[in-house]
Amino acid sequence: MKKETLAQVIIIIVLSIVLTGGFCYWRSYNSVFNWGSWCTAGGFANLFNAPLIFIFLLRISTIKLPKWSVSVIHLVAKVSLPLYLVSYVFDSLWYPVLNTKIALSWGLIYYPVSIAVTFSASFALALIIEKVSSIIYTGLIKKMERYL
């Protein structure tokens, strides 16, 4: 079976985001954001988009990338689990306020900023968690080595 090229995967991701985003926009037309099961973590948007994002990441070749960008990719990969876990905290704090207070037409302006802010806050907290857990892990390994 032939693998999709990186360009094909990007086109499929963009189409998927446009279709699922268009559906959510249609559900909320002329009102505040209409929240439903299609928007949750188990909703159809994530069902389609999450595997596509992972396929996209698998297709990226880091051979020709500058060292700094490979370092950034490695850092994101290193903190991806804590980033995923703590993103719920910031999502659950901010998005209910945004969804109930701001009409969808204005929300489209606020969402890019909201995504950047919640991602940055989640990433910063994930870096702290990763650093603390690394220090604890290193300390435990050193103590265990003394007894072995």
Residue 1 above 60 pLDDT? no
Strand partners, 103: 32
pLDDT tens digit string along 102-130? 666 666 677 788 888 889 999 999 999 99
The SS3 call for residue 103 is strand
Q: Is 34:87 a contact under the CB 8 Å cutoff?
A: no
CA angle 85, 89, 91 (to 5 degrees): 105
Has this prediction a pTM greater than 0.75? no
pLDDT tens digit string along 29-76? 776 666 666 666 667 777 777 778 777 877 777 788 899 988 888 888
Helices (H), 60-103: 67-78, 80-101
